């Protein structure tokens, strides 16, 4: 593989990793601690990731339990959860916070599947944009010390990589959709 193609492959990999993180945060009716990944808690004036201020565990299939190391943070953690887009009201007993995930309705499952497909399409668009940028930069090499055959070969390599990433994205979307539609 040509060295000039490598940076574009790395960019596509980053686009796929971003999609993977987005999919991990989708609520699938089961408790998934990744829904809390983007949550920041006001910890003495500093926005701090939730995982750094307490222990996040899953005692049951549809419950997340958060045990803050500093009990005075319970109100702040509750505030952060309520302000987020998780859509679950936290309950606390003074020492731990519990998030109970309701069973997803059929309608909600279909909506989530649609959202997942949209995220997948966005990722494919990003990958194709990276391919286009790569092809544009290869075309600019015309007239330099790179032959037209080498440019064609680089474009071909980039297309193969693009196809691989589109397949990976499709597979990830299919798996996540199946997970959501499974009751």
Residue range 120-140: average pLDDT? Answer: 91
Task: List own/partner pairs for 84-93 with CB under 8 A and 24 or more apart.
Answer: 84/38, 84/39, 86/27, 86/35, 86/36, 86/39, 87/27, 90/66
- What's the mean pLDDT when you consider all of the chain? 85
Q: What is the pLDDT of residues 3-51, one digit of tens each?
A: 888 888 999 999 999 988 888 777 666 677 777 777 888 888 888 888 8
| pTM score over 0.85 | no
Query: Which domains are delineated in the chain?
Result: 6-24+105-181 (1.10.132.20), 33-100 (3.30.1360.40)
Rg (CA), the chain: 22
Q: What is the pLDDT of residues 81-117, one digit of tens each?
A: 888 777 778 888 888 888 887 777 888 888 888 888 9
């Amino acid at each position: 593989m040509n060295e000039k193609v490598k940076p574009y492959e790395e960019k596509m990999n980053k686009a796929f990793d971003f999609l993977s993180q987005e999919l991990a945060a989708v609520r699938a009716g089961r408790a998934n601690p990744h829904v809390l990944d983007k949550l920041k808690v006001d910890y003495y004036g500093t926005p701090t990731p939730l995982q750094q201020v307490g222990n996040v565990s899953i005692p049951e299939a549809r419950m997340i339990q958060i045990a803050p190391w500093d009990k005075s943070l319970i109100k702040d953690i509750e505030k952060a959860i309520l302000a987020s887009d998780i859509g679950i009201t936290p309950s606390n007993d003074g020492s731990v916070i519990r998030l109970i995930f309701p069973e997803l309705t059929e309608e909600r499952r279909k909506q989530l599947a649609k959202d997942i497909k949209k995220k997948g399409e966005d990722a494919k668009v990003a990958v194709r944009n990276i391919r286009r940028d790569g092809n544009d930069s290869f075309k600019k090499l015309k007239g330099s010390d790179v032959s037209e055959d080498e440019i064609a070969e680089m474009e071909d390599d980039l297309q193969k990589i693009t196809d691989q990433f589109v397949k990976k994205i499709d597979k990830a979307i299919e798996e996540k959709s199946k997970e959501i539609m499974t009751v």
